[in-house]
Structure 1
């Protein structure tokens, strides 16, 4: 069983409160997801984030095939971190930790995603040519979009 990890960090020139308000709102996920992903929230984003919250989406990650994705917010510590876990969707495992930390002149945002692909060896073969590059592209888009929205951190 192969479990992969995606780890990204980004500094933004905004307050911890502003970062938390934006990043912890499920409604803002569409804003920081590439349009071609066909990201659409079906339910669960009506209230502020809380442990036990179930959010249902439709995404179109590969070949234009719509896929239902259901995540649960399992942990929330106000202005510090939250965790979302896939309950149903394209991965055999998806565990995404979002950390925020105040730094001089802004906030550090850190994402750690542990994930496992379905289909055993076939999934492992697809990882370097399809899944890993696609996830990198999505997280690169998020970084660029957050700079567009909040500006570039100058340190």
Structure 2
């Protein structure tokens, strides 16, 4: 499930997915920056350039290169600001394409394994111009990225028969 809401130029994208895995397996996979490339569309040219330590910690800085549009390579720097082991973590953009990026990753035990919730609050640069291009350039791109992740995760962690 993917939903997108807006309030005063701040957009919030929320996704939920149930995976048939235990909480530790989910945490180990999603708290490792090295696995982000596996669930990001290949055409985005996602590459971690530094900071992919073995275990996540508050204050960790991770740098990436990403190509949001063909031929355009962008540097992105995020900081892990909160870690609640086995429950949640937050990454926030320190430098990159957004005026603001706050991404909460939440993990809850469910009847069938783990419910994974992503809540991304973001703001575009350039004020009203950013808000004008959002429906055409950004909204669809983000929805496709999270839909892609959903499909990849279903394949990586298939339901038990």
Which TM bucket (shorter chain)? over 0.9
After superposing on structure 2, the runs of 4+ consecutive aligned residues of structure 1 that deviate more than 6 Å are none
Which consecutive unaligned segments of at least 5 residues does structure 2 have? 1-7
Which of these residues, 20, 40, 44, is aligned with residue 33 of structure 1?
40
The alignment's TM-score, normalised by the length of structure 1, stands at 0.96
Map of 1:111 onto structure 2: 118
Cα deviation for residue 121 of structure 1 reads: 1.2
Question: Does the aligned pair in 1 maintain the 2:51–2:62 contact within 8 Å?
Answer: yes
Give the root-mean-square deviation of aligned CA atoms: 1.2
After superposition, give the CA deviation of every residue in 1:45-93 in whole Å (9 maximum; x if it has no partner).
0331100000000000123200000000000011100000000000000
| Matched positions, count | 154
1:86 to 86, 89, 93: 93
In the alignment, structure 1 residue 125 sits paired with structure 2 residue 132: yes
TM-score (norm 2): 0.93
CA deviation vs aligned residue, 1:7-55 (integer Å, no higher than 9, x gap) = 1100000001100100110000000000001000000003311000000
Instruction: Output the CA distance in 1 between the equivalents of 2:160 and 2:149.
Output: 15
What residue number does 2:58 align with?
A: 51
Q: Which has the higher strand share?
A: 2
Residue ranges of structure 1 left out of the alignment (5+ in a row) = none
Change (3 A) 1:77 1:153: farther
CA distance in 2, matches of 1:106, 1:86: 30
Distance in 2, matches of 1:74 and 1:3, equals 20
| Corresponding residue SS for 2:38 | coil
